[in-house]
A = this chain, B = another copy of it.
Amino acid sequence: MAVYTDVSDGDIAAFAKQYDIGEVTSFKGIAEGVENSNFLLMTTRAPYILTLYEKRVSKRDLPFFLGLMEHLAEAKVPCPTPIRGRDGQVLRELCGRPAAIISFLKGVWPRRISLFHCREVGRALAEMHLKGRDYPLRRSNALSVAGWRTLFTACQSRADEVETGLADTLAGELVLLETNWPADLPAGVIHADLFPDNVFFDGERLTGLIDFYFACDDHFAYDLAVCLNAWCFEHGGEFNVTKARQLLSAYRAVRPFSDSELAALPLLARGAALRFLLTRLYDWLNQVEGAMVKPKDPREYLPKLRFHQRISGPAAYGLA
Interface residues of A (CB under 8 A from B): 1, 3, 6, 8-10, 12-13, 24-32, 40, 42, 47, 104-112, 201-202, 290, 292, 294
Contact = CB atoms under 8 A, between A and B. Distances in A.
Contacts of A24: 108
A31 B6 CA distance: 11
Contact of A109 (B1, B9, B108): B9
A319 to B, nearest CB: 29
A210 to B, nearest CB: 12
Nearest to A201: B9
Contact of A1 (B9, B31, B290): B31
A88 to B, nearest CB: 27
Contact of A111 (B10, B40, B112, B202): B10
| Copies of this chain, tallied across the complex | 2
Contact of A108 (B6, B12, B106, B292): B12
B1 A111 contact: no
- Max chain B C-beta neighbours (<10 A), residue from A40, A106, A108, A109: A108
Contacts of A10: 111-112
Contact of A26 (B6, B13, B106, B292): B106
Given A42-B47, A47-B42, A112 B8 contact: yes
Contacts of A6: 111
Contact of A29 (B31, B42, B106): B31
A105 B25 CA distance: 9
Nearest to A106: B25
10 contacts: A3-B31, A9-B109, A10-B111, A25-B107, A25-B202, A28-B32, A40-B40, A42-B47, A42-B106, A292-B294
